Amino acid sequence: MDFELDDALLTLQATARRFADEEMVPHAAEWDQQGELPLPVLEKAWELGLSHTGIPEELGGVGLPVTAAVVGVEELARGCGGVTTSIISNDLALNPILLGGSDDQRKEWLGQCVEEFKILAFCLSEPGAGSDVAGLQLHCERDGDDYVLNGTKAWITNGGYADLYSVFATLDRGSRHKGMCAFVIPKGTPGLSPGRKEDKMGHRASNTTLVHFDNVRVPASQRLGAEGEGFKIAMATLDRARPQVAALAVGVARRALEESLAYVAERKAFGQPIGEFQGLQFMLADMAKNIEASRLLTAQAAWLLDAGRKSAKQSAMAKLFATDTAMDVTTDAVQIFGGNGYTKEYPVEKLMRDAKLMQIYEGTNQIQRVVIAREVAKE
Ligand code: CAA
C-alpha cells in the first residue's frame, strides 16, 4: 500500500491546481452570478488533458486511470464546482461508449473527441424518472435499420451545448430495465433539441437543460451494446463516474477549509484571532478529518475500478460520504465566517450552494444507501 503520489500524478495535480487558480478562481463568482457556462475555459481544460480524461491512449486520448482522474478533479473543483461538473460530465457521457460500444464505435465517436473539442451530455434522467432509472419513458421503436426515439430527458448537464449525447431509452415502457437500450446521437440529428435551461441554486456555471426527442431517427449502428443492455451500461457508467463526483466534493470542501483557515487567522474577537478559540479549532479539525476520509474512500473506489474489480459499493460510499462531508464542511465554513459568510462578498456561501447539488445528482445520497445496503446484504 502506497499513499504517495508518483511524479506523473504530482505533475497532473500541479497542472490542475494552476489551472484552477489562474483560470477559475478569479472568475467563479461572476460565472455563478451570470449562470453561464464559460466555454473557452472548458476548451482550455481539454487542451491541457484535464477533461475527457477517460479516452484510452490507443484512441489518442490521455487515458488517465480513475486513480489519476480524481486527483485532477479535486484540484479543479477548488476553482469552481459548476465548471468542474461540466468537465466531468464529458467523462460521464463518454463512459457508455467506452463501456458499451464496439471497437468501431469507440474509434468513431471517441476518436472525434480527441481530434477536436467536443462537449458530451449523459441523457438518463427524465421529468418522471430520476432515481428510478428502470422507470424511464423515452421510447425507442425499431423501424428497419433505424430506431425512432420519442420523449424528453431532464436535468441534463451540458444539454444545451453538447455535440454528442449518450442516450438511454426503452423499447417497451412496461419492461423496466430489461427493455432498455443505449445510443450515441450527434447534435444536429433532426428532432433532437435542447429545451428549457434550469435556473439553479448552485453549480450555476454548469448548463442544465431538458432535451427533447421528437421522432429522432437513429441508425442501429449507433446503438451501444445489445438491445436490453442499456440499464447495465448505465449502472456501470455510474459506478465509474461516482468517484469523480466524490473528488469534486473533496475539492469544494477543501476550498471551504482553506478559506476558513485564512479567515480565523485574520478575524479577531475578544482581543484575539478567532482561530485561538478551541470551539473553532474543533470545527476545523472535524472538517479536515472528514475531508481526508473522503479522499481515501474516493481513492479506494478509483483503485478498484482501475483494477477491473467490482466497485458499486465503494463508489456509492465515496460519493455518499464525500458529498455529505462537503455539505457539512461548507455549512460550517459559513458559520465560521458569521454574517460575512452569508454574503456574496465572501466565497463560502457559493461553496455551500454548490455542495447541496452533489448530494442530489449522480444518484441521490438516499440511492447511494440503497446501493450500499444491497451490496452488503449480498456479501
Ligand atoms: N452494474 C451492473 N449491473 C447492475 C448494477 C451495476 N452497478 N446494478 C444493478 N445491476 C443489474 C442487476 O444485477 C439486475 O440484473 P438482472 O436483471 O440480470 O438480475 C439489473 O441490473 C436490475 O437491477 P436492480 O433490480 O438493482 O434495479 P433497480 O430498478 O432496483 O434500480 C438503482 C437500481 C440502484 C436504484 C438504480 O435505479 C439507480 O442507480 N438509480 C439512480 C440513478 C442515478 O444515479 N441517476 C443519475 C443521473 S446522471 C446525473 O445526475 C449526472 C449529472 O447530471 C451531472
Which residues lie below 8 Å from residue 1, measured CB to CB, with a gap of 6+?
A: none
**Helices in the chain by DSSP H: which ranges?**
7-19, 28-34, 39-47, 66-79, 81-100, 103-105, 111-115, 230-266, 278-306, 312-337, 348-358, 365-378
pLDDT at residue 255, as a whole number: 98
Which residue's CA is minimally distant from atom 51 of ligand 1?
362
Average model confidence (pLDDT) across the chain: 97
The string of DSSP codes covering 125-143 is -BTTBSS-GGG---EEEEE
Ligand 1 centroid – CA 306 distance (Å) = 20
Closest of 237, 227, 190 to residue 93, by C-alpha: 237
Range 231-378 classified under CATH 1.10.390.10: no
pLDDT at residue 349, as a whole number: 98
Residue among 198, 232, 304, 313 whose CB has most ligand 1 atoms within 8 A, to mutate: 232
The boundaries of every CATH 1.20.140.10 domain in the chain are: 231-378
Residues 165, 122: Cα–Cα separation, whole Å: 6
How many contiguous H segments (helices) and E segments (strands) does the chain have?
12, 10
Ligand 1: nearest atom to the Cα of 125 = 47
Q: What is the pLDDT of residues 109-160, one digit of tens each?
A: 999 999 999 999 999 999 999 999 999 999 999 999 999 999 999 999 999 9
The boundaries of every CATH 1.10.540.10 domain in the chain are: 7-115
Which residues lie below 8 Å from residue 271, measured CB to CB, with a gap of 6+?
A: none
What are the CA-CA distances from residue 144 to residues 218, 328, 329 (Å)?
A: 11, 53, 55
Q: What is the pLDDT of residues 47-75, one digit of tens each?
A: 999 999 999 999 999 999 999 999 999 99
Ligand 1 centroid – CA 94 distance (Å) = 18
The catalytic residue among 36, 362, 375, 379 is: 362
Which residue's C-alpha cell is 467563479? 28
Residue among 166, 177, 244, 305 whose CB has most ligand 1 atoms within 8 A, to mutate: 177
Ligand 1 centroid – CA 73 distance (Å) = 24
Question: Does the predicted model carry a pTM greater than 0.95?
Answer: yes
Ligand 1 centroid – CA 133 distance (Å) = 7
Ligand 1 centroid – CA 339 distance (Å) = 42
Residue among 178, 235, 354 whose CB has most ligand 1 atoms within 8 A, to mutate: 235
Percent of the chain exceeding pLDDT 70 equals 100
Ligand 1 centroid – CA 106 distance (Å) = 23
Residues 145, 355: Cα–Cα separation, whole Å: 45
**Helices in 267-311 by DSSP H: which ranges?**
278-306
The yes-or-no verdict on residue 163 having pLDDT over 90 is yes
pLDDT at residue 2, as a whole number: 87
Which residues lie below 8 Å from residue 276, measured CB to CB, with a gap of 6+?
A: none
User: What class does CATH assign to 120-228?
Assistant: mainly beta
Whether ligand 1 lies within 6 angstroms of the CB of 125 is answered as: yes
Which residue's C-alpha cell is 423499447? 171
Q: What is the pLDDT of residues 32-43, one digit of tens each?
A: 999 999 999 999
Closest of 207, 185, 189, 190 to residue 198, by C-alpha: 207
Q: The domain at 7-115 falls in which architecture?
A: Orthogonal Bundle (1.10)
pLDDT bracket for residue 263 (50, 70, 90)? very high
Amino acid at site 107: K
Which residue's CA is minimally distant from atom 49 of ligand 1?
362
Whether ligand 1 lies within 6 angstroms of the CB of 372 is answered as: no
Whether ligand 1 lies within 6 angstroms of the CB of 206 is answered as: no
Ligand 1 centroid – CA 136 distance (Å) = 12
Percent of the chain exceeding pLDDT 90 equals 99
pLDDT at residue 93, as a whole number: 98
Ligand 1: nearest atom to the Cα of 85 = 54
Which residue's CA is minimally distant from atom 4 of ligand 1?
232
Whether ligand 1 lies within 6 angstroms of the CB of 90 is answered as: no
Which residue's CA is minimally distant from atom 47 of ligand 1?
362
Whether ligand 1 lies within 6 angstroms of the CB of 124 is answered as: yes
pLDDT at residue 145, as a whole number: 97
pLDDT at residue 128, as a whole number: 95
Ligand 1: nearest atom to the Cα of 89 = 54
Residue 362: active-site member? yes
Q: What is the pLDDT of residues 83-119, one digit of tens each?
A: 999 999 999 999 999 999 999 999 999 999 999 999 9
Q: What is the pLDDT of residues 217-236, one digit of tens each?
A: 999 999 999 999 999 999 99
Which residue's C-alpha cell is 423515452? 138
Q: What's the mean pLDDT in 268-273?
A: 98
